[in-house]
Amino acid sequence: MTRQEILDELKKVISPYTTNKELLAGITEETDLIKDLKINSANLVDIIIDAEAKYNIEIDYDSADKMINVGTCMDVISEKINERG
């Protein structure tokens, strides 16, 4: 998957958990999940589980720690897709 394809799919994963659809449409790699998209921390696990299902990957604790903004989410997803082969 290209980075753009990962971003497009990631928007769909995040969408149910943010009410700020306008910002979601224009997210950048610097967009913070909690501070900018106002996603409740209780939904971060949902996003990780949904991303695992969407990309058929497994995200371990240490990788999940890095998923703070859109760019780091894409890095982790990309890394896990590559590991999966």
- The contact pattern for another protein, residues 5-34, with x = CB under 8 A and - = no contact, is --------------xx--------------
If binding is defined by CB under 8 A, does position 56 make contact with another protein? Answer: no
If binding is defined by CB under 8 A, does position 84 make contact with another protein? Answer: no
Q: Are 29 and 74 in contact (CB under 8 A)?
A: yes
Question: Using CA atoms, how far apart are residues 49 and 22, in angstroms rounded to an integer?
Answer: 24
Q: Are 11 and 82 in contact (CB under 8 A)?
A: no
Residues that bind another protein (CB under 8 A): 19-20, 35, 38, 40-42, 45-46, 48-49, 52, 61-62, 64-65
